[in-house]
């Protein structure tokens, strides 16, 4: 594995570890604690940014055309069979979710945030495992 990608994968795993840790510390109730919400969102955002960095690195390494958006980059990686369609879609959805949170910070749907932590944090691990 490329050393840059390896470093980014380690960073993703640290971020999701912190999300899990903060969720556990909040007694699995992020609905009532803005500090834990902030920490979880920040680490999800960091993980998403690392995924975007990896996508761009893979595009460069494979001499592919850079895309206009991160979602398009993951679509390209899927089409080039660098990552699976399933993982590509999961990361694309996570990118869109984090973008929505960042742009509408005052309107966080805490139930959706809980769902992401409970059901979709594993998507980052799936993405990371496909890179090996």
pLDDT of residue 24: 82
Mean pLDDT of 63-76: 95
CA-to-CA distance for 18 and 39, rounded, in angstroms?
8
pLDDT in tens, 78-101: 999 999 999 999 999 999 999 988
pLDDT in tens, 20-58: 998 888 776 766 788 888 899 999 999 999 999 999 999
pLDDT of residue 45: 96
- Mean pLDDT across the chain, nearest whole number? 91
pLDDT of residue 109: 82
- Calculate the alpha carbon distances from 67 to 74, 79, 94 in Å: 9, 13, 18
As to burial, measured by CB atoms within 10 angstroms (0-12 exposed, 13-18 middle, 19+ buried), residue 91 is: buried
- Percent of the chain's residues with pLDDT above 70: 95
| Helix (H/G/I), strand (E/B), else coil: 104 | coil
Domain that holds residue 117: 3-130
pLDDT of residue 103: 81
Residue 111 sits in a domain whose CATH number is 1.20.120.580
Would the pTM of this model clear 0.85, i.e. be above it? yes
| Structural domains in the chain (count) | 1
Residue 12 CB neighbours (<10 A): 24
CA-to-CA distance for 8 and 62, rounded, in angstroms?
17
Mean pLDDT of 6-26: 93
């Amino acid at each position: 594995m490329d050393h840059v990608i390896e470093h980014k994968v380690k960073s993703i795993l640290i971020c999701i570890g912190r999300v899990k840790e903060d969720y556990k510390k909040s007694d699995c109730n992020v609905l009532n604690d803005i500090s834990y919400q902030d920490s979880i969102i920040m680490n999800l955002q960091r993980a998403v940014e690392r995924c975007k960095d990896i996508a761009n690195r893979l595009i460069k390494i494979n001499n592919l055309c850079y895309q206009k958006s991160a979602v398009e980059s993951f679509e390209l990686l899927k089409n080039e069979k660098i990552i699976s369609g399933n993982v590509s879609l999961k990361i694309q959805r996570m990118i869109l979710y984090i973008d929505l949170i960042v742009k509408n910070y005052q309107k966080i749907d805490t139930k959706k945030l809980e769902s992401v932590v409970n059901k979709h944090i594993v998507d980052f691990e799936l993405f990371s495992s496909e890179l090996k």
